[in-house]
Amino acid sequence: MLQTLHIKNFALIEQLHIDFSEGLSIITGETGAGKSILLGALGLVLGNRADLGSLKDKEQKCVVEAHFKISDYNLKTFFADNDLDYDDVTIIRREILPSGKSRAFVNDSPVNLQELQQLGNHLIDIHSQQQTRELSDEQYQLYILDAIAGNNHLLAEYKKQLSLYKSLKKQLIKAKEQKESLTKEYDYNSFLLKELTDANLKAGEQEEMEAELEKLSNVEFIKESVAKALAIAEDEQIGVIQNLKEIKSTLQKISGLSVGYSQFYERVNSVLIEFDDIAAGLREDADLLSDDPERLELVNQKLQLIYSLQKKHTVSTVEALIAIQQELEGKVLQSDELDATIEKREAELLDIEKATNEAAAALSEKRSAAIPKLADNITTILSQLGMPNARFKFELTPSGNYYDNGTDTINLMFSANKGTDFGLLKKVASGGEMSRIMLAVKSVLAGYSKLPTIIFDEIDTGVSGEISNKMGDIMKEMSKAMQVFAITHLPQVAAKGDSHYKVFKSIQGETTVSELKELTGEGRVQEIAEMLSGKDITDSALNHARALLN
Average pLDDT, 10 consecutive residues per value, the chain (550 residues): 93 90 92 83 89 82 94 89 92 91 93 92 80 77 90 93 93 85 74 86 86 77 82 79 86 88 90 89 77 79 88 90 85 73 89 94 94 92 90 90 93 88 86 84 83 85 81 91 91 93 86 88 93 88 91
8-state DSSP, 130: G
State how far the alpha carbon of 23 is from the alpha carbons of 122, 195, 257, 481, 548, in Å. 18, 84, 129, 8, 18
Please tell me the predicted confidence (pLDDT) of residue 235. 77
Question: Which residue intervals of the chain bear CATH 3.40.50.300?
Answer: 1-123+453-519
Find all residues with CB under 8 Å of 234, minimum gap 6, and list them.
Answer: 240, 241, 242, 279
Q: CB neighbours (10 Å) of residue 26?
A: 25
Please tell me the predicted confidence (pLDDT) of residue 131. 59
Edge to edge, what strands does the sheet with 124-128 contain? 124-128, 453-457, 484-487, 24-28, 499-508, 511-519
The rounded distance, in Å, linking the Cα atoms of 346 and 335 is 17
Burial label for 144, CB within 10 Å (0-12, 13-18, 19+), is buried
8-state DSSP, 221: H
The rounded distance, in Å, linking the Cα atoms of 1 and 7 is 18
User: 240: closest CA among 207, 205, 282?
Assistant: 282
8-state DSSP, 263: H
The rounded distance, in Å, linking the Cα atoms of 308 and 321 is 11
Please tell me the predicted confidence (pLDDT) of residue 372. 93
Pick the CATH number of 1-123+453-519 from 3.30.530.20, 3.40.50.300, 3.30.70.870, 1.25.40.10: 3.40.50.300
- What predicted TM-score, i.e. pTM, was given to this entire model? 0.67
User: 266: closest CA among 246, 245, 250, 252?
Assistant: 252
Beta bridge partners, 103, equal 95
Q: Which amino acid is at 252?
A: Q
Phi, psi of 518 (to 5 degrees): -85, 135
Please tell me the predicted confidence (pLDDT) of residue 130. 60
Per-residue pLDDT reduced to its tens digit, 415-472? 988 888 899 888 888 877 888 888 898 888 888 877 789 999 888 777 777 888 899 9
CA dihedral of 366, 372, 373, 379, whole degrees rounded to 10: 150
Beta bridge partners, 501, equal 27, 518
Backbone dihedral region of 39: left (phi > 0), alpha (psi from -120 to 50 degrees) or beta? alpha
Q: CB neighbours (10 Å) of residue 448?
A: 17
Please tell me the predicted confidence (pLDDT) of residue 337. 76
